[in-house]
């Protein structure tokens, strides 16, 4: 019995080991199936992740390219504005120099004009004084001429009156009246 029971125990252990082995094989098969299924799912997930990452990478590259293009356009605009600003400063400086030159020319011309005006005024004053002197001289000469002419006229008038009176014989009467009035 002991022998038999030992053999039974061995058979029982072998049977149990077979069952364990079979269970392990089934467990490993299930595990392999699960692992294969998970690998497929993870592979698909990984593929989707890779596609998503590629799309994100493409979108990022596109956004970077767009941003780079915008920055380059902005830099070009800034450079253009800077050139225009520098050109404006240059033109303003040139205009300022031109305006200063023109103002200096106008001031010089104004000084020349003022000097000419003063010279003309002095000459006009001298001419006016000479004209007044010559006019006074002419007036005096004319006055003397008129007085002389009036005297001559008066003398001629008296002479003519005397001649008329003499021819009319009124001289004596007039002389007597003049003496009486005196």
Per-residue pLDDT tens digits for 144-176:
888 888 888 888 888 888 888 888 776 555 555
Distance CA 180, CA 162 (A): 19
Token pair belonging to 38:
């998970």
Distance CA 89, CA 105 (A): 24
Query: What would the pLDDT profile of 7-20 be if each residue is shown by its tens digit?
Result: 667 777 778 888 88
The stretches in the chain having pLDDT less than 70 are 1-8, 170-182
DSSP state, residue 169 = T
Asked whether the CA dihedral 90, 96, 101, 102 is positive or negative, the reply is positive
């Amino acid at each position: 019995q002991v022998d038999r029971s030992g053999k039974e125990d061995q058979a029982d252990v072998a049977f149990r080991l077979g069952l364990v082995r079979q269970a392990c094989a089934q467990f490993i098969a299930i595990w392999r199936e699960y692992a294969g299924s998970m690998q497929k799912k993870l592979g698909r997930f990984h593929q989707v992740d890779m596609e998503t990452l590629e799309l994100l990478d493409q979108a990022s590259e596109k956004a970077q390219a767009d941003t780079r293009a915008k920055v380059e356009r902005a830099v070009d605009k800034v450079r253009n504005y800077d050139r225009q600003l520098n050109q404006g400063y240059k033109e303003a400086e040139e205009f300022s120099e031109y305006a200063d030159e023109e103002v200096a020319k106008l001031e010089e011309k104004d000084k020349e004009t003022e000097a000419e005006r003063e010279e003309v005024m002095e000459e006009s004053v001298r001419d006016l004084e000479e004209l007044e002197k010559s006019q006074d001289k002419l007036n005096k000469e004319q006055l003397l001429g008129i007085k002389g002419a009036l005297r001559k006229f008066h003398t001629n008038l008296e002479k003519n009156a005397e001649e008329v009176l003499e021819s009319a014989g009124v001289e004596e009467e007039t002389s007597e009246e003049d003496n009486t009035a005196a």
